[in-house]
Amino acid sequence: MVNFASLVAGVVVGDSFNLDELMTANRSTSNSTSDFLLPEADNSLRSTLVSPATTSETTGNLSEVTVAATLSASEVVLANVPGVERTGTNRNDRLRGTEGDDILRGRGGNDRLFGRGGNDTLIGGPGRDRVEGEAGDDRLEGNSGRDSLFGGTGQDFLEGNNGDDRLNGGRSADTLVGGSGDDTLIGGNGRDVIIGGGGNDTLTGGAGRDRFVYRSVRDRGRSKDSLFDERGDEITDFVTDEDVLDLRQIFADSRYSESDRLDKYVVIVNDDNERTLIRIDIDGDNGDRPFRTLVTLNNVDFDDVGSGNFLV
């Protein structure tokens, strides 16, 4: 336990300082402030915010840490250190990383996580979170709740998990996984891999040669009332000269034979000259149920879709 009121301004703590001691720090004087200095070092900083927390904002670099109180949400701003591992509370936290390789976990609440530079791992936790990787090759994860994930620059991996999430890869070649729920996935620039997962998803590849991956026939989402009204997922900007539908994981199932898969198990349907439906045999060789719509290609001419747009 550290009492901030007892710290003297300008005190140098020493060659090493364990920030874990600050996990349940108290301030006994509500209107006073105390400064303390950390020596320059190359070591990572590790600490945890514990709810309810009276410390609501922490900023620092290699030589200075400033602590302020009274705000209801927690904010962490750490600069010029190789990396931090930090966990928020069950309240609405705001966690900001460093230029190093950080690990930020939001836990409960509607959190906002910012990775800054480095190859970061950012995990929102339960709640409606906003997670931004910014620079570097980052891994971003939502959880339950309607999360918003933004990769930024670098080759990022984004996974929404449960809930109706919105994922945007940003620049470079990113991998986006929607998970369950009706998700919106936007690849952005670069050769992206886009995996909608369960639910009726809206997918946008953006610039570059994108690959839309289907791992199961259940990825087509919930069935509609009528066979001919169902849409499955929707791809808003499928470019027949560049993009592909990757169905290899579906056809790896033993119900499908290894030969002539495109001819046997896939039907391409012209829908009112406005969109193209991709229908698939959900039984394979094991049944006689009708083909069901896996995905709708909006504003795509039926005649422009061919074998080169499929990986089977």
Domains, the chain, in order of start with CATH, read 53-311 (2.150.10)
Write down how long the chain is.
312
Q: Which of 66-80, 209-223, 235-249 bottoms out in mean pLDDT, i.e. has the lowest?
A: 66-80
Burial code (b: 16+ CB inside 10 Å, e: under 16) for 261-280 equals bbeebbebeebeeebbbbbb
Number of H helices, E strands in the chain: 2, 27
Q: Which of 214, 153, 223, 149 is nearest to 184 (CA)?
A: 149
Token couple for 192: 């992206």
94 and 74 Cβ atoms separated by less than 8 Å: yes
Alpha carbon 151 to its chain centroid, in Å, reads 7
47 and 66 Cβ atoms separated by less than 8 Å: no
176 and 156 Cβ atoms separated by less than 8 Å: no
Kindly state the percentage of the chain with pLDDT values over 90.
66
Mean pLDDT of 31-55: 40
| Helix/strand/coil for 147 | coil
**E strand or H helix that includes residue 89:** none
Write the pLDDT tens digit of every residue in 115-169: 999 999 999 999 999 999 999 999 999 998 999 999 999 999 999 999 999 999 9
Check pLDDT > 70 for residue 20. Answer: no
Residue 166: per-residue pLDDT? 98
Token couple for 216: 């199961």
279 and 267 Cβ atoms separated by less than 8 Å: yes
Residue with tokens 């997918």: 203
Rounded distance between C-alpha atoms, residue 147 and residue 141, angstroms: 9
Write the pLDDT tens digit of every residue in 182-218: 999 999 999 999 999 999 999 999 999 999 999 998 8
Where does the pLDDT of residue 219 fall: very low under 50, low under 70, confident under 90, or very high at 90 and above?
confident
Q: Tell me how far CA of residue 192 lies from CA of 169, 176, 278, in angstroms.
A: 8, 8, 21
Mean pLDDT of 94-98: 97
Q: Which of 16, 20, 53, 29 is nearest to 7 (CA)?
A: 29
Rounded distance between C-alpha atoms, residue 102 and residue 100, angstroms: 6
Q: Dihedrals φ, ψ of 263, to 5°?
A: -70, -35
CA dihedral defined by 85, 90, 93, 95, rounded to 10 degrees?
A: 10
Residue with tokens 């950012």: 122
Residue 97: per-residue pLDDT? 97
Composition of the chain by helix, strand, coil, percent to 5: 10, 30, 60
Residue 70: per-residue pLDDT? 40
124: left (phi over 0), alpha (psi -120 to 50) or beta: alpha
Number of alpha carbons in the 13 Å side-chain half-sphere of residue 61: 4
Give the residue, 67 or 193, on which the prediction is more confident: 193
Rounded distance between C-alpha atoms, residue 291 and residue 266, angstroms: 8
**E strand or H helix that includes residue 10:** none
Where does the pLDDT of residue 59 fall: very low under 50, low under 70, confident under 90, or very high at 90 and above?
very low
Number of alpha carbons in the 13 Å side-chain half-sphere of residue 309: 18
